[in-house]
Amino acid sequence: MTRDELNAYRLLKEAQQANAQLHSRRHFLKESAMGLGALAMGSLLGGCGSFFSDKQTKIAYDPAHPLLPKSPPFLGKAKSVIYLHMAGAPSQLELFDFKPELMKMDGQDCPPSLLAGKKFAFITGVPKMLGPQATFAKHGQSGALISDNLPHFSTMADEVSFLKAVKTDQFNHAPAQLLVHTGSPRLGRPSMGSWVTYGLGSENQNLPGYVVLTSGGSFPDAGKSVWGSGFLPSVYQGVQCRSEGDPVLFIKDPDGMNRDLRKASIDAINQANEQQYQEYNDPEILSRIAQYEMAYRMQISAPDVMNINDEPVYIHEMYGTQPGKSCFANNVLLARKLVEKGVRYVQLFDWGWDAHGDNPNNSLNIGLKNKCRSIDRPITALLLDLKQRGLLEDTLVVWGGEFGRTPMMENRNGIQNPFKGRDHHTEAFTIWMAGGGIKKGYTHGETDEIGYSAISGKVDAFDIQATILNQLGFDHEKFTYPFQGRPFRLTDVAGKVIKEVVA
């Protein structure tokens, strides 16, 4: 036997054994005893939405049509999500969280009470306090404080809800990003977009349901796992598209391959896969077939929707796009186009917000200002454009980073950094949400007078995930997937819908 034959033989053996086990007396007794016990348990614990009761949200997963649209358990306000993640963590103290007290302390030694028992990513010894490096003003009827780093977005104060007391427990980029998007700082969990497309499918069968767009010259630190599908069927992982060149690599047929031939080859591959499926019954094979078929359809639909060149000039001016290049503005415009075409979840990552102050591009007075300029027009345009197309009512827009930044100036290895910068900070940062049934012009949560820690309205990543799922029509406690013998959910064992920001 060759090695492959041996492997096939072993697989077959294993399958037979598994099948035989399902028909054994032992299995019957075990299952029925457990079943009865579970029934009794379920009725005892039924009140708390336990795993034993039948209150779990039922998701009909059809491996042959994994992206067919599905109904949410209850009527959600939002149908799609655009998540704008500023990778590297923007400084809340230079954008939304104005702290005049901190200004007075500028240059003083950090009080020991703020350092006792705390760990920072880079700060060692006693750092100096650093006042806000931007000018703030009240905006809109809601009077939201927004800094002059975002002059255009300031006009949107009455459209969004600010969460000013977001907390996390991870002070390094990769785990913190994973926590925000997968509900766990470690690898292996499905990302939010995967959960959402698993639960809702997609409106458009010719496009992926979950699209990821990156800008800023680098991937988020957590790598592609941050849009991975974890233990969910792999068809639900985010599909990374590009705003420069081909939207998806190798989407064009190679020279000499016409579309009929392409179709014929895909059909042949699918037939082979179909045979394989008959033999092994692995639903992942059906997913693979479905993905080949979608890829074939995408060859036509994706270049069309991913092409921003046919947008009118005033739209380009509004977003500040740079056609032909890869930039955040282009991605934001694409996000609007994709949502318009029925894509369920669009995830943007913009890298370069890690303002430590170790070099000019990472400083609050130079690099951060340039980053702010690159997003200010696009995010403003996105909200306005969605609004005028009647899409903001059912599109949820979320903006944020993975953690906040310290009110202290960073002193790497005990030596003051050459530029003004702040270290990673877990205790308080700002995230905003808009559209999709979120309150307009509202601020939830507050930090202390120097912006060090949250004092009221504290929320964490799980609460935000719970809220996003709630807006889409899911109870995050009941939206589970069985894996390794227990039901898993995005929010694990935590999370509370932030009702204060739900309109």
Sites of contact with another protein (CB under 8 A): 57-58, 68-76, 151-152, 203-206, 314, 317-318, 320, 340-342, 360, 363, 365-366, 369-370, 373, 376-377, 380-381, 384-385, 387-390, 393, 418-419, 473, 499
Q: Which is nearer to another protein, 79 or 181 (CB)?
A: 79
| In the complex, minimum distance from the CB of residue 121 to another protein, in angstroms, rounded to a whole number | 23
Nearer to another protein, 9 or 74 (CB): 74
Minimum CB distance to another protein, residue 380 (Å): 6
Query: Whole-number minimum distance, CB 114 to another protein, in Å?
Result: 29
Whole-angstrom CA distances from 300 to 197, 247, 296, 342, 425 are 22, 12, 8, 16, 45
- Three-state DSSP class for residue 499: helix
* CB closer to another protein out of 50 and 57: 57
Q: Phi/psi of residue 190, each to 5°? A: -70, 150
> What's the min distance (Å) between Cβ of 134 and another protein?
12
The least CB distance from residue 371 to another protein, in Å, is 10
- Residue 414 CB-density burial (10 A; 0-12 exposed, 13-18 middle, 19+ buried): exposed
Choice between 305 and 428, CB closer to another protein? 305
Q: Extract the tokens encoding 250.
A: 């190798």
What's the min distance (Å) between Cβ of 205 and another protein?
A: 6
Could you give the count of Cα atoms lying within 13 Å of 291 in the half-sphere of its Cβ?
Answer: 14
Find out whether 171 and 121 touch, Cβ atoms under 8 Å: yes
Angle at 451 between CA 118 and CA 116, to 5 degrees: 20
Q: Give me the least distance between CB of 373 and another protein, in Å please.
A: 7
Q: Which tokens sit at 496?
A: 């509370």
**What are the structure tokens assigned to 158, written together?**
């009455």
Give whichever of 118 and 369 is closer to another protein, judged by the CB atom: 369
Nearer to another protein, 54 or 255 (CB): 54
Side chain identity at residue 10, one-letter code: R
Shorter beta-carbon distance to another protein: residue 151 or 303: 151
Query: Using CA atoms, how far apart are residues 3 and 1, in angstroms rounded to an integer?
Result: 6
Distance of CA 324 to the CA centre of its chain: 26
- Nearer of residues 284 and 317 to another protein, judged by Cβ: 317
Cβ-defined contacts of 310-315 (< 8 Å, 24+): 311/337, 315/381, 315/385
The distance of closest approach from Cβ of residue 73 to another protein in the complex, given in angstroms and rounded to an integer, is: 5
What minimum distance in Å lies between the beta carbon of 288 and another protein?
A: 22
- Could you tell me if 88 and 352 are in contact, meaning their C-beta atoms sit under 8 angstroms apart? yes
Q: Which is nearer to another protein, 80 or 240 (CB)?
A: 80
3-state secondary structure string across 260-306: HHHHHHHHHHHHHHHHHHHHHCCHHHHHHHHHHHHHHHHHHHHHHHC
